[in-house]
Each structure stands twice: as structure tokens, then as C-alpha cells.
Chains A and B, each alone.
Chain A
Amino acid sequence: MEILLFAGFATVAAVSGLLVVIQRQAVYSALYLVITMGALAGLYILLEGHFIWIIQIIVYAGAIMVLFLFVIMLLDLRREEVMWARRDRGQILLAAILSLVLLAQMVLALGRSYLPAAKAPAALAEGFGTTQTVGRLLFTDYLFPFEVTSVILLVAMVGAMVLAKKQFK
């Protein structure tokens, strides 16, 4: 059962991930990215991420991608007329070949089962991945990074507002 679910979610994520980068229209890319994030949320459930999956939906699929769509629509981007321009062909070919080589290397390296974790996945602690566990860790071991992220968000908010403000001459 778990294998079926993994196969389903992984296929959807892989296919829509690929479709993100080869669309002419930016809106379609954004929509495919939303689908990818949804499929990844499903994979997170399989990985006992009982809190992380819904955070992925709320933050990534529900907020970040909406922001992307807003900007795409505000800038009114039409079909990209010239997707693979002549002078870029060499760079694109090089990028594709090197990526394929890297993918082959990674598949060979990661596919082997010499990783100790792969042989016998460790038994999970009680309450692994639940909200309570994540919350407790955030407020004890990871308190400082947690407070720093609030500062990061504040800085990002102020920065975005300043950058996107209309300049009145």
C-alpha cells in the first residue's frame, strides 16, 4: 500500500516538476509547481511528517505560489515568444548534458544500498513528526533559530514593501 502511494505521488511530482521548466506560459508553470508541491506534501505524509505536510500546503501551495501568480498577472507576462534562442543553444545543450551526467551519477551513488540507513530504518520514537514534538523542539533546542526567523520575516516584509513601493516623483 505504501509502495503504491509512493509510486503515485512520486510520478505526479516528477512529471509536473519537469513540466514546470518547459512551459511557454509562466502561469502554467506556476500551476504545475503547485501540483508538484501538493504531490510532495503527500510524500511528506509517507515520511511521517505529520505537521510538515500541512505546513507545506499552507505556506508553499497556499501562500508562496499565490504570490507568484499575483506577480505574473500584475506584470502581464504573455507567451514567451522565443524560448530557446539561437545564441543560447550552446549553453542550453551544455546544461542539459551536464545535468544528465550528474543525474546518472547520483542515481548510481544513491541507488546502492550501502547506506546504513537504507539497510534497516531506525525504529521511530514515540510521537515522531507530530505537532507537539516539532513545537517542543522549536521552543527548546531550536529557540534561537526560531526567534531569528521572526526577524528574517520582518526584514523580508519591510524590504519587499520598500522595493515594490511606487516612486512618486
Chain B
Amino acid sequence: MRRGGAMNPTEIIEIEQVSTTVPESVIDSLATIRDMVSACIQCGTCTGSCPNAFAMDLTPRQLWYNVLMGEKETIFHSKTFSLCSVCYYCTLRCPRGLPLTETMSALKQIAAKENLAPYKKSIRFYQSFMESVRRHGRVREMEFMTLYFLSMKNPFMPLQFAPLGMKLIGKGKVSFEIPSKGNGALELIFRKVEALEQNS
């Protein structure tokens, strides 16, 4: 979705090719991720340390098991990695010293790259944020949330955020700005990153 130039809100609305089965192309990226946790001894310290484990379908320990087994359907139909709030408790405590938080993020990156349906909400949230940064160099809260609402195509969604939004506007913390093209402050950086990622 990010090929060449900044996208405008209408382009976001057009993104609807969400996939329901996990594509084969995921297997290669999954192999790199398997290396990150290959020394996992299935002790479950990560699960015991995770503040969000209560809401997960697979515990972190079970997730690593599925990564080791290359079970892409199980992994990418589970909400576990998308529930990682990047608190680094598991990374800190892992007796094998594995980069578990980064592994969670690596799974999020695959989901974003492949635009996998179950993670639509998080993916669009993060992509809207990055789009605003790409355009202006710094995130513009109002633009970012507007892009997010537009991408979710749910007319009632803004209502959920209206009370807090109005409070923040009242305090002058968020200003009314309609999405705009910006000065493309970081366009060259974003493009170069995309080019390098395509070649790797």
C-alpha cells in the first residue's frame, strides 16, 4: 500500500483485499523468526510474566512452540502477538536470553506486510500513525485518528473517542487539522527503507 508517494484518505479506503488464509510467502519470514526463539526450552516464564496473557488465546509459551513447528495457520489466527504491549517483562526474564518482545514485533510486521484480516484494526491503527509521520515528520494526532477512522470504514467509530477527543481539544492538546499532504519530511527515508526491505 505504500508504493511511491504519500497516500490520501481515499486510497486508504480502497484497501480491502484482506486475506483469510495465510499465504505461503509467510513461510520464509517465519523461518527467520524461528531462529530467534530456537533456544526456547518451553519453561513458560514468558507466560507467567506477561500482563496480557489473561486475554490471549495461545499463551506466549504456546506461541513459541507453534513458531518452532512452523504452524503458520495457528500463529496467524491467534491474537496472541497482537496483544503484546511491548513491556519487555518476558525479554528481561527469559532464562535463555531470547529477544521475545522483538519476536512478537516481528510477527506483527508479517501480519502488517501481508495485511492479514484478523489484525485489521491494529494494522490500520499503526499504518495511519506512520502515514502521518511520513507526511509531516511528526505525528499529527487529529490526522492520524482521522486516517484510522476512514480506513476502518465505521461511521460510529469516532463516537467512541469523541468524549476524550473533545476534552483534549478543549485543553489545546489536539488541534483541528484535516489530513494533508505535508512537506514529505521523511519521504526519502521511508522509500529507502522500503527499497532495502524489498531486496532483502
- Answer yes or no: do A and B interact: no
B residues at A contact (CB < 8 Å): none
A residues at B contact (CB < 8 Å): none
